[in-house]
């Protein structure tokens, strides 16, 4: 398949291509100072064929004396503020929701609250801008923005790279690997080459050195990450492993068999990889089974614990929220449409549904967290389509999702993981995109999903699905049990 083959286009084909590479080349031997590099290269391959940016690079300022001192002062202030805690969390700003102008990290804060009830201390490190988040963050005393510190680490990396000659990174069989992938797509070697991989290795090493200092200062019993993949997150994992501190990934979105960071690693080594967490905390057994099908239990393991944010709402563990009944028009069914990053966002049949049924249904639109900076652009697009006054994009985007789902009659999406959260609250979904069918056709929430096909009448589908009577799905454990499981797993294994 590797030689003279067509470019893989679907996620299934890309995974098959990547798995063949894992079987043919010594990819698990590609290491640098204890850092396993294959997961980063694997992400680059997926990123290339999907023509998708996995992470957004921020435009860095040129290094000047002023920037140097400003950045170092901010880094020093950050480091001096650190104190000893028992559980360290690391997450992204994209995981935040606002309730009454208070900003919550929806996957970290519920667990941290439960840890506090069990008399454990914790700290949340977040890749976010201090001035943008800090003023409204929930329980500010246990939060630290990371951007300023990481900016200093990036400056150190650039200076070190210019002034100190680095040892060459030895990657056995890498030239043969490059030769093979170039025969599938010559453009691949512009993204995957010795220089690119070398820079990743050096940046992760610089972040790892910082993470080790941070861990020495805070002395946590465990490290919990919301979305483990990314150079800082994985550097923190490596540093924790070197200090024999267990690491956990808290599921933040959909996990499926062809996911670039959660899908199958072929020939996965029994000793595991230093850049993957020890434990994956999933929303259900379905996701845990996907991971455990290729994870050797001796080194990494997936454990189904539930969705902390939904649990917090179901158990009334969040501050009093707005009663949306005051906003939703009386006698109208509420339809929530969640946008995504694949396919046409506003297909004609969806626009027609809204235009023809606005007197019967109320339509709320919810942006993906990474689309928030495009809000005005999307509003303009809706205006051009003539439906801006027929949808509620502000409430749909900024109200907490569980609160919306508690009032929602039907969810429509291209392929969003909100389908899983909707099912857990007894809300059916219509899946519009063909990739969505691949995600959910064999998923445990299958009975909550209806798949739209080209030529179907979406209006008829909506009326049929709205007539269904579905029950909400309950988690096997509660939020307190979820937290106790993390604590006990830490105590038992380390």
pLDDT reported for residue 325: 85
Supply 325's token pair.
């009944």
Residues 276 and 230 sit within 8 Å (Cβ to Cβ): no
Residues 6+ apart with CB under 8 A from 425: 310, 402, 405, 406, 408, 472
Supply 291's token pair.
């991971």
Nearest of 442, 438, 402, 437 to residue 423 by alpha carbon = 402
Residue 127, Ramachandran bin (φ over 0: left; ψ between -120 and 50: alpha; else beta): beta
- Angle (CA) 50-52-54 rounded to 5° is 120
Mean pLDDT value across residues 459-466: 96
Which ranges of 27-106 would DSSP assign to H, the alpha helix?
38-50, 65-80
- 344: helix, strand or coil: coil
Nearest of 149, 7, 134, 139 to residue 74 by alpha carbon = 149
DSSP 227: S
- 266: helix, strand or coil: coil
φ/ψ (deg, to 5) at 431: -100, 120
- Angle (CA) 266-268-271 rounded to 5° is 175
* Residue showing tokens 């969810």: 411
Per the DSSP assignment, residues forming a β-bridge with 363 are: 335, 391
The answer to whether residue 4 scores a pLDDT higher than 50 is no
Nearest of 127, 139, 364 to residue 233 by alpha carbon = 127
Residues 6+ apart with CB under 8 A from 247: 222, 223, 224, 225, 228, 236, 237, 240, 241, 277, 278, 279
pLDDT band at 3 (very low <50, low <70, confident <90, very high): very low
Q: How many CB atoms neighbour CB 166 within 10 A?
A: 12
Q: What is the pTM of this model?
A: 0.89
Residues 6+ apart with CB under 8 A from 372: 397
Q: In the Cβ-directed half-sphere of 476, how many Cα atoms lie within 13 Å?
A: 8
**Per-residue model confidence as pLDDT tens digits over 339-350:** 987 678 999 999
The b/e string for 318-353 (b: 16+ C-beta within 10 A; e otherwise) is beeeeebeeebeeeebbbbbbbbeeeebbbebbeeb
pLDDT reported for residue 492: 80
The more confidently predicted of residues 472 and 155 is 155
pLDDT reported for residue 431: 96
In angstroms, the CA 273 to CA 294 distance is: 13
pLDDT band at 181 (very low <50, low <70, confident <90, very high): very high
- How large a percentage of the chain has pLDDT more than 90? 68
- How large a percentage of the chain has pLDDT more than 70? 94
Q: Mean pLDDT highest for which of 40-49, 55-64, 147-156, 465-474?
A: 40-49
* Residue showing tokens 């049924």: 357
How deeply is 417 buried, as exposed, middle or buried, from its count of CB atoms within 10 A (0-12, 13-18, 19+)? buried
pLDDT band at 385 (very low <50, low <70, confident <90, very high): very high
The answer to whether residue 491 scores a pLDDT higher than 90 is no
The more confidently predicted of residues 103 and 25 is 25
Nearest of 354, 340, 368 to residue 434 by alpha carbon = 340
- Counted residue by residue, the chain has a size of 494
Least-confidence region, from 46-50, 363-367, 447-451: 46-50
Supply 242's token pair.
């070197």
pLDDT reported for residue 62: 60
The helix or strand, by DSSP H or E, that contains position 429, with its residue range, turns out to be: strand 429-431
pLDDT band at 360 (very low <50, low <70, confident <90, very high): very high
How deeply is 356 buried, as exposed, middle or buried, from its count of CB atoms within 10 A (0-12, 13-18, 19+)? exposed
The answer to whether residue 57 scores a pLDDT higher than 60 is no
Nearest of 36, 445, 400 to residue 208 by alpha carbon = 36
Nearest of 422, 345, 419, 433 to residue 384 by alpha carbon = 345
In angstroms, the CA 320 to CA 338 distance is: 24
pLDDT reported for residue 55: 44
Mean pLDDT value across residues 59-63: 57
Q: In the Cβ-directed half-sphere of 479, how many Cα atoms lie within 13 Å?
A: 25
Residues 6+ apart with CB under 8 A from 391: 337, 354, 363, 364, 365, 382
pLDDT band at 164 (very low <50, low <70, confident <90, very high): confident
In angstroms, the CA 481 to CA 486 distance is: 9
The more confidently predicted of residues 369 and 123 is 123
* Residue showing tokens 């999702």: 401
């Amino acid at each position: 398949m590797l030689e003279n083959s067509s470019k893989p286009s679907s996620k299934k084909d890309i995974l098959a291509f990547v798995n063949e590479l894992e079987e043919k080349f010594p990819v698990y031997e590609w290491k640098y100072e204890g850092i396993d590099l294959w997961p980063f290269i694997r992400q680059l391959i997926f990123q290339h064929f999907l023509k998708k940016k996995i992470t957004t690079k921020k435009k860095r300022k040129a290094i000047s004396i002023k920037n140097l001192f400003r950045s170092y002062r901010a880094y020093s202030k950050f480091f001096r503020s650190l104190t000893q805690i028992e559980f360290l969390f690391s997450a992204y700003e994209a995981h935040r929701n606002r309730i009454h102008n208070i900003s919550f990290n929806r996957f970290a804060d519920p667990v941290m609250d439960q840890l506090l009830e069990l008399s454990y201390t914790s700290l949340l490190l977040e890749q976010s801008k201090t001035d943008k988040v800090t003023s409204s963050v929930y329980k500010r005393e246990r939060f630290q923005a990371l951007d300023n510190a990481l900016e200093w680490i990036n400056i150190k990396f650039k200076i070190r790279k210019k002034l100190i000659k680095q040892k060459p990174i030895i990657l056995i069989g890498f030239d043969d690997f490059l030769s093979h992938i170039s025969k599938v797509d010559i453009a691949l070697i512009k993204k995957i080459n010795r220089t690119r991989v070398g820079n990743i290795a050096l940046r992760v090493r610089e972040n790892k050195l910082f993470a080790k200092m941070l861990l020495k200062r805070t002395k946590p019993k465990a490290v919990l990450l919301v979305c483990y993949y990314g150079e800082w997150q994985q550097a923190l994992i490596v540093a924790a492993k070197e200090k024999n501190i267990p690491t956990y990934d808290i599921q933040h979105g959909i996990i499926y068999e062809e996911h670039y960071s959660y899908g199958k690693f072929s020939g996965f080594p029994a000793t595991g990889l230093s850049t993957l967490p020890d434990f994956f905390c999933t929303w259900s057994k379905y996701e845990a089974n996907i991971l455990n099908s290729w994870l050797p239990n001796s080194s990494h393991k997936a454990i189904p614990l539930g969705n902390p944010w939904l649990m917090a709402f179901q158990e009334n563990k969040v501050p009093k929220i707005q009663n949306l009944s005051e906003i939703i028009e009386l006698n109208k069914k509420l339809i929530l449409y969640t946008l995504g990053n694949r396919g046409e966002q506003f297909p004609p049949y969806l626009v027609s549904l809204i235009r023809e049924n606005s007197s019967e249904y109320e339509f709320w639109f919810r942006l993906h967290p990474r689309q928030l900076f495009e809000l005005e652009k999307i509003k303009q697009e809706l205006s051009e389509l003539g439906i801006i006054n027929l949808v509620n994009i502000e409430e749909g985007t900024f109200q907490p999702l569980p609160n919306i789902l508690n009032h929602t009659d039907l969810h429509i999406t291209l392929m969003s993981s909100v389908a899983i959260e909707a099912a857990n609250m007894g809300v059916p979904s219509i899946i519009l995109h063909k990739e969505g069918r691949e995600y959910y056709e064999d998923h445990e929430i299958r009975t909550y999903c209806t798949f739209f096909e080209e030529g179907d009448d979406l209006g008829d589908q909506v009326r049929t699905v709205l007539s269904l009577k579905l029950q909400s799905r309950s988690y096997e454990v509660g939020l307190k049990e979820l937290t106790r499981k993390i604590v006990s797993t830490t105590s038992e294994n380390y």
